Structure 1
Amino acid sequence: MEIRLLRYFIAVANQQSISGAAKHLHLSQPTLSRQLSELEAELDTPLFIRGNRKITLTAEGMFLLTKAKEIVELVDKTEANFNQPTEFISGEIYIGGGETKAMQFIAKALKHLTHHYPAIQFHLYSGNADDIMEKLDNGLLDFGVVIEPTDKQKYDYLHLPATDVWGVLMRKDSPLADKQSIQPSDLIDKPLLISRQTTVDNELTGWFGQDVKNLSITGTYNLLYNAALMVEEGLGYALCLDKLINTSGDSNLCFKPLNPDLHAGLNIIWKKHQVFSNAARKFLEQIRNNMEKYTHNE
């Protein structure tokens, strides 16, 4: 399967039209139609439902679209780090992370790096730990910033000098808002919104003393911003990390830490035996240098 054909397929899926995709690709419509028919023949499955006004994807086509985008992104990522002039460091760095204040540590490293090597470009991907590790495994990210623990069989890592605090995001007029901290018994009968991360389930199960899935789970979230809107509407209490949502001033929300307290250590991880681009290698060196300075200043 040629990368060129995957690019054609993605264009048709985006345009929902052979003629629109052909114009976008600077190809004749018959040429593009023939290429797509050859792709369907190669895979021995229909990829499109051809309507009068637009083209939609079959279930197999939707599956291929997801994989095609990943493959093309990986190819583009690889090519971007080759054929660069040798007299200066350039290239692209792909970093994934969840919502955490630790990303400020990453930002400081990137600021220093791009000051010295302005030809380096970085790309950020936001997602939870499961999303990040999947993209690391598929080669779509160079680094991920995730909550501990880390699978030491699959990834090398550095422990970042940052710790997040677990607690509960709630409305200021909720029954628990007057408490200084939240105990497991406070939440047993409350509607909860929890993160979908596997590692989070394990941590919260330990804190509650029972499987978190046995609690009154109203909903789950990937990133906290939209979950905070649900909390504001009174849909439940969000178990989350501190300092991600503004609860000061006129905000209707407040944050209460857990008791006993529950902290989240943070690691920057990468695949074992990974061969880095020059840009990614320089970034990792900068992270290590910044960590050494942080340790000496403690």
Structure 2
Amino acid sequence: MNLKALRYCVEVARESSFTKAAQNLHVAQPALSMAVSRLEDELGVVLFNRATRQVSLTAEGKLFLARVESCLLGLDGARRELNDLSQRQSGEIRVGVPPMYGIRHIPELLMQFREQYPGIAMHVVEGSAQEIGERLAKRDIDVALLESRRVEPAWESIALGNDEMVLCMSRQHPLSSASSLSAAELQDREMLVFDSTFLQRHLLDVFCAAAKVQYRIALESNFVSLVVAATRSTMGISTLLRSVQEKEPGLIGVSFDPPQFMCFNLCWRSNEYLSLANQTFIETARLFFQQRDPA
């Protein structure tokens, strides 16, 4: 049984298209189609329904490829484990971080990790909690930094630290002198909000909905720097993490009433081999955050 043909089948199933699978794998479509057909002949079953425009798995294909994908993951893990045994100071890490929590500690953590393990290549991607979670699920990254409410039950994780979500405004804003703000204070206020892929937007909406309060959207964006700049320019109020607000001159951070905290975890997929490089990064991150927040 040809291992390459098995990988081809998995990709065709994932994309529901021979054309897209061939493009992703950088092979000619005729060669990919021929390899899949030969495998079907060898197995004596048809794996894909080709009659419609969108390719789909047959019942036999679903059964077969469920096992194949699991086996391929095991083989990839074994290959990476063997590589780790021979090259303990090399390898790569693929990490996903949210744009806001990453501002505070992640650059320093990565610089420290690089100092200790210069032979390990680091690939870091930024995105909303939803995007980072999807990347981890699709195996585009190996480790993700996510708020605890976005960690899937099937993933393994360790807690790193907490941060407070606060209402931010310019010093000139009439609410800037408040010690805390209830949801009622946000009725009809001009808000600068993140889009729905951000957990902060979800928390703000739940907070206001519970009090039957409606704010007005002056700006919606997934661009953190834009929201910070617009807040400073007195366009409206935004929700930022306390750690971010404290580093932004001219921004006042007021706690919600009751306060809204976010707990951040480093997580990875369970029951899959995690390379030594990624294991080392997780341990380094754990110690790094522990030293900054011993409690």
Is TM > 0.5 for Structure 1 vs Structure 2? yes
Equivalent position amino acid for 1:194 in 2: V
Task: State the partner residue of 2:248.
Answer: 247
CA separation of 1:277 and 1:264: change in aligned 2, threshold 3 A: same
User: 2:224 aligned with 1:224, yes or no?
Assistant: yes
1:202, 1:281 → 2: CA distance? 32
1:186, 1:259 → 2: CA distance? 10
Structure 1 segments unaligned to the other structure (5+ residues): 10-34, 43-77
CA separation of 1:5 and 1:90: change in aligned 2, threshold 3 A: same
Equivalent position amino acid for 2:217 in 1: I
8 A contact 1:247–1:255 mirrored in 2:
no
CA separation of 1:134 and 1:234: change in aligned 2, threshold 3 A: same
Equivalent position amino acid for 2:192 in 1: L
1:289, 1:179 → 2: CA distance? 37
2:113, 2:234 → 1: CA distance? 44
8 A contact 2:88–2:276 mirrored in 1:
no
Counterparts of 1:19-30 in structure 2, within 5 Å, are none
Task: State the partner residue of 1:126.
Answer: 126
Counterparts of 1:1-298 in structure 2, within 5 Å, are 5-6=23-24, 86-101=86-101, 106-107=106-107, 109-160=109-160, 162-195=161-194, 196-197=196-197, 199-210=199-210, 214-245=214-245, 246-248=247-249, 251=250, 253-290=251-288, 298=295
Equivalent position amino acid for 2:153 in 1: Q
CA separation of 1:282 and 1:197: change in aligned 2, threshold 3 A: same
CA separation of 1:155 and 1:103: change in aligned 2, threshold 3 A: farther
| 1:244 CA displacement | 1.7
Aligned length: 232
2:248, 2:107 → 1: CA distance? 23
Q: What is the SS of the residue equivalent to 1:200?
A: helix
| 1:287 CA displacement | 3.2
8 A contact 2:91–2:121 mirrored in 1:
yes
8 A contact 2:165–2:200 mirrored in 1:
no
Q: What is the SS of the residue equivalent to 2:181?
A: coil
8 A contact 2:208–2:214 mirrored in 1:
no
Deviations 1:81-112 (A, max 9, x none): 68689244211111111134566555555445
1:204, 1:259 → 2: CA distance? 12
CA separation of 1:212 and 1:223: change in aligned 2, threshold 3 A: farther
8 A contact 2:113–2:281 mirrored in 1:
yes
Task: State the partner residue of 1:21.
Answer: none
Q: What is the SS of the residue equivalent to 1:159?
A: strand
8 A contact 1:106–1:287 mirrored in 2:
no
CA separation of 1:235 and 1:87: change in aligned 2, threshold 3 A: closer
Q: What is the SS of the residue equivalent to 2:184?
A: helix
| 1:141 CA displacement | 1.1
Task: State the partner residue of 2:55.
Answer: none
Deviations 1:250-289 (A, max 9, x none): x4x3322222211111111112223212211221233345
1:118, 1:256 → 2: CA distance? 41
Task: State the partner residue of 1:66.
Answer: none
| 1:292 CA displacement | 6.3
2:231, 2:289 → 1: CA distance? 36
Query: TM-score, with normalisation over the residues of structure 2?
Result: 0.63
8 A contact 2:183–2:208 mirrored in 1:
yes
Q: What is the SS of the residue equivalent to 1:166?
A: strand
CA separation of 1:273 and 1:221: change in aligned 2, threshold 3 A: farther
1:106, 1:186 → 2: CA distance? 34
Q: What is the SS of the residue equivalent to 2:169?
A: strand
